[in-house]
Chain A
Amino acid sequence: MRCGITPVDKLIGGGIVRGRISEIIGHPGAGRTSLAAAFAASITGRGEVAAWIDAAGNFDPESIAAAGVDLARLLWVATPANPSRSGARPVDNFAGARPESARATDHSDHYVTNHYVADHYVEGRPYYAGKRPASAAVLKAAEWILVAGGFGLVVIDCGGLRDCNGWAGTFTQSAALRLAHGAERSGAAVVVIAAHQMCGTFAALSLMLSRRRTCFSRAGAGAPALFDGLTVEARVMRNKLGGSGGAATWSALADPSCAATPESALAPGRLQRHESHASRESANYAGQRVAAR
């Protein structure tokens, strides 16, 4: 299944494979969601149906539709929002329930190794739906969708999923195994968006994205700056069906129609441009960040 981004399609041997798990990993802002949206746009453009399991409540229908995804053919599954992102307090601050106690009372906690108890809101009041972790809800939703069949692509967006300590866990081996079996039986391509590898050896492809360049431009001196987009490097960390270690660079733009060719998309000289080498600067300001906290 191709995504339509030529360098990425070439890098991964023509696209991701149906019936297998593919991981798109990287830091927030590295272009993971844009790449997953390209796959979803490709699949819905062919008339197939896709599902997007939104673990952290970050799904933005407007920009997803602008990326070419036919929303009429996309199932958006909203799961309990990440308390650390949504502004809600962690569970142990709410009721004193500790993760260990949740593990003891809930049999579904084997889905995640480092889990938290997600808060659910019903009629404006928080409660704990069986003290089930959000990751468990995500996996349960994925299983149901894969068992139901008829989906060409299932995107599991764990990109913003973190526990109360800010650490994003991984799926347990048994959970990843069940997910892999579900993908194989349904024939759907499963794409997992995460900060790091979630499915371990059960993923057929792990694609690591990292931001190379952030481009802002202004039409002339004194004109307001505009955010153009990112240049992203994709590196194959693991590929069961091809070679690993290869890398390719591609662009994700706020308005691709402005770029005539991929080479001219973020080429210097098109406009007065200033680039932010934030990856270098982030190291310089790491100490400051800690100090600010």
Chain B
Amino acid sequence: MTSPDIYKAASRHEHEGQAARIACILIADFALAAVMRANPELRERPFALTRNSERRGAYSAHSELSQVSAPARALGVRPGMTVAQARALIPEIAVINASPVAERAAADALIDVAESISPVVEEAVPGCVWVDLTGSERFYRQARGDGKTADSTRNPDDIGDGDEACVTVEEEIAAELARRAGRVGLEAAVGIAADKEIARLAARCGGARVIGTGREREFLNWMPLDLLDLGVNARGDDLELMLKRLGIRRLGDLAQLDARAVGSRLGSHGAELMRLARGEGSARVAARPRAEVFAEAIEMEYGIETIEPLAFVMRAMIARISERLQMRGLVAGDITLSLGLADRRRDERRVAVAAPTIEVRALLTLVTLNLEAAPPPAAVETIRLTIAPRAARPAQSDMFLPPAPAPEQSAAMSPQTAPASAPAINGIARMVMRTMRPAEEVEVMCMRETPEFVRGANVCARVVSAAGPWRRQGEWWAEGANGEADNVAGRDDVRATVAFAPAAYARDYYDLALADGGVYRVYCDLYSAKWFVDGIYD
């Protein structure tokens, strides 16, 4: 189903009168969450954000804190304090400038999480995404294996049980959304309801909350106002405080008031709140086109001059994009790396990925090799990493052979990323051959086609043990090889095209342990019937 078909299907549900089900994925303190996602080491540390329009890292002691992490809040630091005040309370507090690029990357990741569940997704603000789940519970019910009881065989008398089953499936979807958000480094709250705003209110309660069909009014009546973060109205009055003075603590209390009176006293914010309290929100999710480029960006406080710490930072970025791609069933194609340098220049480079993969290690190795080949001319302050998505390649298994490694695990993807085999497994070395260049011609005496004695300029000994032969034959298909002779060197089974294709070869290889103590690799050239020593195992 193509994207326009999906959007048509979404609108068709509305026309058919099917009850809309909308999920809201909400990230609390989104700017903080985006910074923590880019710097996971900050999760346990008290830190705060400032919003300076000046250069990154250039905040003063009088800069105001815009947002404060939970550990810092627990120790008394609040938004609006200056950096100096925060440091007086917590000397080790980290103060970081808010990062718009990190927020954009986190918002894109959140949209990818939503699109992994349903194609109809709308972004309200960065950190809040609506997903249209209408009808999608059928897929999950079928995926769980109880699809037979879902619709076709459901008894009309069991509507209640069916709704309960539906709620259970939606709870699973909500939990799955939260889990997938965690995979891309975001702690999300999920709410599912029949309306966008009610779903958002459900998400504001935290965790995963499902408001069943027909129970919206009950939920709105219960909804405490202090969970809404009402802010101030146009005149600068604190709405929550004003409503509390009027004895209104829940949305249900507000819904019982006269709408005009609320509008005249509280302004447009009050009227908006009134509509919310009465459940007069929109149920339509405006779908957006799917993202085709996956990007992650990070701004660092200080420039990075060496490859190793740069690779450390990029590993986390690649891992996050890899998770996003995996959720969409895609793999990584070519990588575009855009580095912002300390001297205000930009370093743009493109890293080709021969075999699309989501292996973080392989992708990181490719990027690192590219950087090592041509290091950035100055310290790196910002990194933007964009990966072009590719469809995963299906691999055809052989009927008779054991399954081969997937293409992305193949060492042939890139010679640089081929994992070096262990030099010694359990204390056993790997045998190495010493090649002779060119191969040394020798005389070999055979008995019943088994080598018995080898004589040459540097080798002259009896054969003690022999293994082989293994035939190598090739290039007989080369240009000019358009005929076959009957017999070569007395062997009927060798294709004789040497007269037509000079590059053609046919050799029988043997491993011969000779009486002089060496184990040699010897081959017989079937075209010339000559024997050569190829090398010695040493």
Contact = CB atoms under 8 A, between A and B. Distances in A.
Given A60-B434, A86-B438, A225-B467, A66 B462 contact: no
Most buried by A among B434, B513, B516, B535: B434
Q: Majority SS of interface residues in chain A?
A: mixed
A256 B428 contact: yes
Contacts, number: 208
Interface stretch (A39-47, A131-139, A236-244): A39-47
Nearest to A45: B420
A216 B438 CA distance: 27
Interface in A50-93: 57-60, 63-72, 81, 84-87
A197 interface: no
Contact of A5 (B429, B432, B436, B460): B429
Interface stretch (A13-21, A140-148, A245-253): A245-253
Nearest to B438: A87
Given A68-B421, A278-B516, A262 B427 contact: yes
A261 B420 contact: no
Contacts of B435: 57-60
Nearest to B535: A60
Interface string A112-141: 000000000000000000000000000000
Most buried by B among A27, A284, A285: A285
Interface string A178-214: 0000000000000000000000000000000001001
B424 interface: yes
Contact of B519 (A29, A32, A81, A86): A29
A28 B421 contact: no
Interface string B402-439: 00000000000001100011111111111111111110
A34 B432 contact: yes
B427 A4 contact: yes
Interface of B: 415-416, 420-438, 440-441, 455, 457-458, 460-462, 464-468, 511, 513-519, 535-538
Given A29-B518, A159-B538, A278-B517, A68 B428 contact: no
B461 A261 contact: no
Contacts of A33: 432-434, 538
Contacts of A253: 428-431
B431 A281 contact: no
Contacts of A153: none
B434 A256 contact: no
B216 to A, nearest CB: 60
A252 B517 contact: no
Given A41-B422, A68-B424, 12 more contacts: A3-B424, A28-B536, A45-B420, A159-B434, A214-B513, A216-B511, A224-B468, A225-B467, A250-B429, A252-B432, A253-B429, A253-B430
A176 interface: no
Contact of B434 (A58, A69, A70, A262): A58
A174 interface: no
Contact of A31 (B424, B458, B514, B538): B538
Given A58-B535, A216-B467, A282-B517, A160 B426 contact: no
